[in-house]
């Protein structure tokens, strides 16, 4: 960690940027197994916000690993760093006045707490996309579960690496049995409440 770095404050505040965009900046943090529906829901919610004229962006776990986090693997240490980096990006985006939707497995409670603590009160909403592992494996749209079961992928969440479900998320979605439309409605209700 750099020690000879001083934070440079700007002249425009987060509040001023949010007022210019006419919205309340927040971070919606979607967590759950691979195949739970996090990315599908994130992009559907993004489209809903966009239709309402909101400035919104999705940070998707797979997409971020193509660039910013392309140097990270899936060991526990790499997963911690993955979440630390995306938290910083999401925090900067909220500071810019945006609505940011993070769709990351983020398997460890401590990492999600660290993410939450990077935001001011009322800016962070944890959404647990609670889809049973068996349903995620049935979906297996990327073929990862099959590879993990055949030991072709190491450190795969739910198979050879643990997932710690949230204890107190702002919203728990039963995405395995609830329609996408109803899940999106619940998410939007959480934000507009």
Active-site residues, by number, are 106
Transcribe 54-107 into DSSP letters. Answer: --EEEEEHHHHTTTTTTT--SSHHHHHHHHHHHHHHHHHHHHTT-EEEEE----
Residue 188's region, left for phi above 0, alpha for psi from -120 to 50, else beta, is alpha
Transcribe 113-125 into DSSP letters. Answer: HHHHHTS-TTSEE
């Amino acid at each position: 960690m750099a020690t000879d770095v001083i934070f440079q404050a700007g002249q425009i505040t987060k509040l001023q940027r949010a007022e210019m965009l006419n919205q309340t900046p927040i971070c919606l943090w979607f967590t759950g197994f691979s195949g739970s529906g996090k990315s599908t829901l994130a992009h559907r919610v993004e489209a809903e916000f966009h239709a309402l004229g909101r400035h919104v962006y999705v940070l998707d776990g797979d997409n971020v690993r193509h660039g910013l986090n392309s140097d990270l693997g899936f060991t526990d240490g790499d997963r911690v760093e993955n979440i630390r980096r995306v938290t910083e990006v999401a925090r900067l985006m909220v500071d810019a006045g945006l609505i940011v939707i993070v769709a990351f497995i983020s398997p460890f409670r401590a990492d999600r707490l660290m993410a939450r603590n990077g935001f001011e009160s009322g800016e962070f909403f944890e959404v647990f996309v609670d889809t049973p592992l068996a349903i995620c494996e049935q979906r297996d749209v990327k073929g990862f579960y099959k590879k993990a079961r055949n030991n072709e992928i190491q450190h795969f969440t739910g198979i050879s690496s643990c997932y710690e479900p949230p204890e107190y998320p702002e919203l728990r979605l039963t995405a395995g049995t609830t329609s996408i439309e109803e899940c999106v409605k619940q998410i939007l209700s959480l934000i507009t409440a």
